[in-house]
Amino acid sequence: MNKNALFTDNYDISFLLETMMGPNAMRIVEEMANMLPISPDMRILDLGCGTGISSILLAEKYDVTVFAADLWISPTENAQRFSRLGLDSKIILLQVDATKEIPFAHEYFDMIISVDAYQYFGGNQAMLPKLLPFVKTGGLIAVAIPGFIQDYPEGQLPEEAQPFWAPDWYFYSCNWWKALWEKEPGITITMLREMDACQQAWDEYLQSPSWHAQKMIPIMQAGAGKYFNIIQIVGRKVS
């Protein structure tokens, strides 16, 4: 077996296509996790896990204990999926709204990971100080979010994206996220990059039968995708 082969490349693609809620979260979290110091004794919060594709990767590939927390997808739906995969004892499920009370103990998690979700609740100065108490000192917050390759001032989006853009995309640039995270003294940014998986993760999503995925096809066909990236930001809790 090729030691460099990705877990994602060998995963049941029909399961992934039926389960995806956005650009292939397994591919995205695998690229991010490859760069993180993850070991099996860790407790990781997967915040905004959706249907749990990223939680599955973390549990199956890294054997960590995952707390899979989401707002829109019910824990009951996810429990059935995780149970079918034999992951009952590795993934703990909770319904959590990150903008409300966070129901965990302080200094509880080695890491918080969030894939294609943080943009919905974290694009403000309040979220990092809210989450940091739940991470052990020295622990990491690692986020992967779809965004734009540069800042586009109000009304100046590229013309291919203009007809489709809606405020609920919450797409920002690397610089925008960097400036936001640098305002928080409790965290040091250890990595900020555009992810290599972007194109493939989007291409895979467009093959999904879901209505949301199909809605993206004309947007990509119009050429808007060349302005998209997936931004990875990792920060270490310093105090």
Which residues contact ligand SAM by CB under 6 A?
Answer: 20-22, 25, 48-50, 53-54, 70-73, 96-99, 115-117, 120-121
- Give the residue nearest to ligand SAM (CB): 50
Measured from the CB atom, is 155 or 211 closer to ligand SAM? 211
Long-range contacts of 91-94 (CB under 8 A, 24+ apart): 91/52, 91/55, 91/56, 91/59, 91/65, 91/66, 91/67, 92/65, 92/66, 92/67, 92/68, 93/68, 93/69, 94/67, 94/68, 94/69
120 phi, psi to nearest 5 deg? -75, -25
Helix (H) or strand (E) holding 32: helix 25-33
Measured from the CB atom, is 49 or 59 closer to ligand SAM? 49
CB of 26 to ligand SAM, least distance (A): 9
CA 4 vs. chain centroid, Å, equals: 23
CB of 197 to ligand SAM, least distance (A): 12
CB of 1 to ligand SAM, least distance (A): 27
CB of 97 to ligand SAM, least distance (A): 5
Measured from the CB atom, is 124 or 190 closer to ligand SAM? 124
CB of 84 to ligand SAM, least distance (A): 18
Closest CA to 26 of 4, 52, 47, 63: 52
CB of 38 to ligand SAM, least distance (A): 17
Strands 65-70 and 43-47: parallel
- With helix as H, strand as E and coil as C, how does 191-229 read? EEEECCCHHHHHHHHHCCCCHHHHHHHHHHHCCHHHHEE
Measured from the CB atom, is 42 or 47 closer to ligand SAM? 47
Radius of gyration for the chain, computed over Cα atoms and rounded to the nearest angstrom: 17
Measured from the CB atom, is 4 or 9 closer to ligand SAM? 9
CB of 19 to ligand SAM, least distance (A): 8
Measured from the CB atom, is 8 or 54 closer to ligand SAM? 54
Measured from the CB atom, is 65 or 99 closer to ligand SAM? 99
- CB 27 within 8 Å of CB 204: yes
